[in-house]
Amino acid sequence: MSEVMFAGPEGRLEGRYHKSDKEGAPIALILHSEPEFGGNMNDKVTYTLFQSFVALGFSVLRFNFHSVGNPAAASQKDDGSIELTSATAALDWLQMENKDAKICWVAGFSFGAWIGMQLLMRRPEINGFVSVAPPAAFRDFSFLAPCPTSGLILQGEKDERNPENAVAKLIEDLERQRGINVEYKIIPASDHHFTGHLKEVYLKTIEYVTEAMKHKPRKVGKKSSRTAKKLEEANA
């Protein structure tokens, strides 16, 4: 994994990048939760998503939004426009580093899920998404009209910040649309940060993406199993 820097709308952005050793490997962009609530590219859920796509053989980038560590920047705008532009710049960088990639996914946690699903609407080359705890209780998702691609939504049953019933309403709205299939998985007893349940996030992401890319269903390999165990121990 490499430390990288690239140009964003408000200056340079810091990221962590894993380059797959497979020629023409698919790519994935991972987006973190609200910086004003401590979200950053190293938070446990974002890191879990990153490791899921690494285990799947993707080239993967996660990065910090401009407002990480900068409370003044976090309060400048609340409409996500700067973060969306930052995500666009990050995807541009990732595609330039992987010109032969034919498959592109985006995954995000909370605020990052909201930004990621907006990015879907602007970048038709994105083939799929994983949204973890999309903040349907306090963010507007009406822009998904229609949602341009299929994906996975993971939600904690006991999410204290973003109640499950709000996400269930979002799922109802998406299910009325034709031509897409959004798979909805509720993780029992899990809070907003999936405390004690990161392994489920990891494995369900791998399971869904594997099937969505039309590979034969497979069990997680030894390396992936070790990573899942480490995530579980770190969250204990």
In tens, the pLDDT along 94-140 reads 999 999 999 999 999 999 999 999 999 999 999 999 999 999 999 99
- Mark 101-125 as b/e (b = at least 16 C-beta within 10 Å): bebbbbbbbbbbbbbbbbbbbebee
Number of other residues whose CB lies within 10 A of the CB of residue 200: 19
Give the phi and the psi of residue 185 in degrees, each rounded to 5.
Answer: -120, 125
pTM greater than 0.85:
yes
Is a pLDDT exceeding 60 seen at residue 224? Answer: no
* Confidence at residue 103, expressed as pLDDT on a 0 to 100 scale: 95
In contact, 111 and 138? CB cutoff 8 Å = no
* Confidence at residue 200, expressed as pLDDT on a 0 to 100 scale: 97
All domains of the chain, ordered by start, with CATH?
2-234 (3.40.50.1820)
* Confidence at residue 26, expressed as pLDDT on a 0 to 100 scale: 97
Strand pairing of 182-187 and 151-156?
Answer: parallel
In tens, the pLDDT along 28-80 reads 999 999 887 788 999 999 999 999 999 999 999 999 998 675 555 544 456 78
